[in-house]
Amino acid sequence: MKKVKVAILGATGAVGREMMKILEERNFPVEELHLLASPRSVGQKVAFRGQELTVELACEEAFEGMDIVLGAAENDIAERFAPAIVKSGAVFVDNSSAFRLDPNVPLVVPEINPEDVKNHKGIISNPNCTTIISLVAVNALNTDSPIEAMVASSYQATSGAGAAGPVELMEQVDALREGRKPEVKVFQHQIAFNVIPQIGGEAYEGYTSEEMKLQNEGRKIMHLPELKVSCTCVRVPVVRSHSVSIVVRTKEKISVQRARELIANAPGCRLVDDLANKCYPMPLDTSDQDIVFVGRIREDLTSDNGLNIWCCGDQVRKGAATNAVQIAELLVK
């Protein structure tokens, strides 16, 4: 692969730092790397491939000469700088949700729709983390028979709320152990020894914004405009790696054995499905790596063409940073 000049927008956040780590791990052909952040982070020193890089100010002029900009910032920052990035001639691979449903912006999971990268007009969107993990798990079934509907429940780790999420979990556990009242700052309620069945604000008929993403983004990524998804997203007291329980309903029946074969051979998946020996996907096993583990595959007892599956994946890596770097690899190739 040819060497390219890369900038990371939002480089000092959790996803931005993970992007740096993954660029190094995957030996991405970086000619120059520029770390862009807000004024409060400017001047920080960060190690990359044995060198010490200085964090620079994110401004319109910072993108000149760049080939690829990896976005790890919030929607407002992505929207603010997108015009300057496109004008500079760079391709903006954006992890925010700002452009995901824009019909002129490809929404890409490299294991599923890599060809969509070719349709970009300067911006490519990285899907929601739970969407990525879920679709990587089920896409092999879709190649055998079109998926018509899914009913999903997510069990999302505290780190999905940013670096402050796990800190709050640990601080609350310490407070409760010591008989103190736990402070609630990051989440709507106490997360220690609790689950919170709300992620995002209300978006449609009682569904939250996070819950609607699996349907809206799934239709676009899998090229299934009629896909129906009913989803419940839950924050759980886990540090890292999201889990999702999914009922997948396909046009034609897929047997459990066939589903296991398909998933075992699917890119980005690992079949971990041996109930008798207590082997199934769990957050502790899937953290800090890029494969989506899939198991608990069984027939759905409410639908003739339904299958139940359980999947886990690292939402900071495959659900965000790694997927973005994989898109950048497609661009370079």
**Are the beta carbons of 305 and 2 closer than 8 angstroms?**
no
State mean pLDDT over 319-323: 98
Residues 136 and 155: beta-carbon distance below 8 Å: no
Task: State the Cα angle at 60 between 57 and 66, rounded to 5°.
Answer: 85
Q: What is the pLDDT of residues 205-249, one digit of tens each?
A: 999 999 999 999 999 999 999 999 999 999 999 999 999 999 999
Q: What is the mean pLDDT of residues 175-191?
A: 97
- Structure confidence at residue 2 (pLDDT): 84
Q: Which CATH architecture has domain 4-127+320-332?
A: 3-Layer(aba) Sandwich (3.40)
* Active site (catalytic) residues: 129, 242
What is the mean pLDDT of the segment spanning 279-304?
97
Tens-place pLDDT, residues 185-197: 999 999 999 999 9
Instruction: Give the pLDDT confidence of 11-25 residue by residue, as tens digits.
Output: 999 999 999 999 999
Residue 1: the pLDDT is 67
Enter the pTM of the model: 0.96
Token pair 């001047």 in the structure block, residue: 43
Direct distance between the N- and C-terminal alpha carbons of the chain, in angstroms, rounded to an integer: 6
> Strand locations in the chain, DSSP E?
4-9, 30-37, 45-48, 51-54, 56-57, 68-71, 91-94, 123-125, 147-156, 202-204, 207-208, 228-235, 242-250, 269-271, 292-299, 306-313
Cβ-in-10-Å burial (0-12, 13-18, 19+) of 214 comes to buried
Long-range contacts of 50-59 (CB under 8 A, 24+ apart): 55/11, 55/12, 58/9, 58/10
Q: What is the mean pLDDT of residues 87-97?
A: 97
The answer to whether the beta carbons of residues 309 and 106 sit under 8 Å apart is no
5, 36 Cβ separation under 8 angstroms = no
Q: What is the mean pLDDT of the chain?
A: 97
Task: Map residue 121 onto helix, strand or coil.
Answer: coil
Q: What does the domain layout of the chain look like in residue ranges?
A: 4-127+320-332, 131-315
Using one digit for the tens of pLDDT, what is the confidence trace for 119-147?
999 999 999 999 999 999 999 999 999 99
| Whole-number percent of the chain with pLDDT over 70 | 100
Please compute the mean of the pLDDT values over residues 256-270 and round it to a whole number: 98
Q: What is the CATH number of domain 131-315?
A: 3.30.360.10
> What are the distances in angstroms from CA 211 to CA 30, 117, 186, 203, 218?
36, 25, 19, 9, 12
Spatial distance between the Cα atoms of 140 and 206, rounded to a whole number of angstroms:
31
